[in-house]
Amino acid sequence: MSTSENRIREDIVRLSRSLFERGFSVGSAGNISAAVDDGILITPTNSSLGFLDPGKISKVTRDGRHLSGDRPSKEIFLHKAFYETRPQTGAVVHLHSTHATALSCLSEIDPDDCIPPLTPYVVMRVGHVKLVDYVRPGDEKAGDLIRALDGKYAAVLLANHGPVVTGKDISSAVYAAEELEETAKLLVMLRGLPTRMLSDENVAELKSVFGGY
């Protein structure tokens, strides 16, 4: 096992524990993966993000064949689809965080942009967020739904399920997932109140200055 892979395993454990301890994940909910030179590392099925063992993190090939570690998360199809369609993806974070999941259950949100530009950082770190139709957890159809997006979205909300966020590495994916959850919390708090969103010009300026993932 390479030094870089060991470091990524430790990063997955450290950041997963941080998410768990701060309430972004409960029980055995959620899964995190990261790309390595010869495959994908992903948290094992039915494991708690708060109590991972770096040596037991599952390793699979890019086509999903199990190589080592515990059995991979049943959501591997979802993760694999992001790596296939967004070559710049270095990590994928899927959580059941409270407020983002609450938004995923609302019937009136815009399915093509379900996290509107409320703050600069959601624009800079997350971008447009697509609502993806419900399928049961672990269904291979989830991968098909992600592939159908042709890599256009770095983050999605799975209807009645929760957020999936990607990044160029594990840290950036976790930071983006946190930003999405905090923005979702603000949106839930502001429901029914007159709300000022960033303008198209504001969004364009942010993208021009800071770029986008």
- Work out the average pLDDT over 166-171: 98
Distance CA 158, CA 151 (A): 16
Interatomic CA distance for residues 135 and 141, integer angstroms: 7
Say whether pLDDT at 28 is over 80: yes
Domain ranges (residues) in the chain: 3-210
Q: What is the pLDDT of residue 211?
A: 82
How far lies 105's CA from each of 24, 102, 137, 158, 208, in Å?
17, 5, 15, 9, 33
To which CATH superfamily is domain 3-210 assigned? Class II aldolase/adducin N-terminal domain (3.40.225.10)
Q: pLDDT: is 5 or 213 the higher one?
A: 5
State mean pLDDT over 159-173: 98
Nearest CA among 109, 111, 131, 127 for reference residue 119: 127
pLDDT score at 31: 98
DSSP code string of 46-93? T--TTS--GGGSEEE-TT--EEESSPBPTTHHHHHHHHHH-TT--EEE
Residue 64 is encoded by which pair of tokens? Answer: 């999903």
At 106-162, the pLDDT tens digits run: 999 999 999 999 999 999 999 999 999 999 999 999 999 999 999 999 999 999 999
Q: Is residue 152 within 8 Å of residue 132, measured between CB atoms?
A: no
CA–CA gap between residue 211 and residue 28 (Å, rounded): 35
Asked about 201 being catalytic, the answer comes back as: no
> Has residue 105 got a pLDDT over 80?
yes
Q: Which of 75, 178, 179, 181 is catalytic?
A: 75
In whole angstroms, what is the distance from residue 60 CA to residue 20 CA?
24
At 3 the pLDDT is 77
d(CA 9, CA 106) in angstroms, rounded, equals: 36
pLDDT of residue 194 exceeding 70, the answer is: yes
- Beta bridge partners, 58, equal 42
pLDDT at 213 over 90: no
CB 166 within 8 A of CB 81: no
Give the dihedral sign, CA 133/176/34/88.
positive
| Average pLDDT, integer, range 169-175 | 98
Instruction: Respond yes or no: is residue 83 known to be catalytic.
Output: no
pLDDT band at 1 (very low <50, low <70, confident <90, very high): low
Please report, rounded to a whole number, the percentage of residues in the chain having pLDDT higher than 90: 95
Identify the pLDDT of residue 186. 98
Catalytic residue among 10, 84, 108, 121: 121
Residue 179 scores a pLDDT above 70: yes
Token pair 């064949």 is found at: 65
pLDDT, tens digit, for every residue of 38-83?
999 999 999 999 999 999 999 999 988 999 999 999 999 999 999 9
What pLDDT is stored for residue 159 in this prediction? 98
Dihedral Cα 94, 174, 101, 27, nearest 10 deg:
70
Mean pLDDT of 83-90: 97
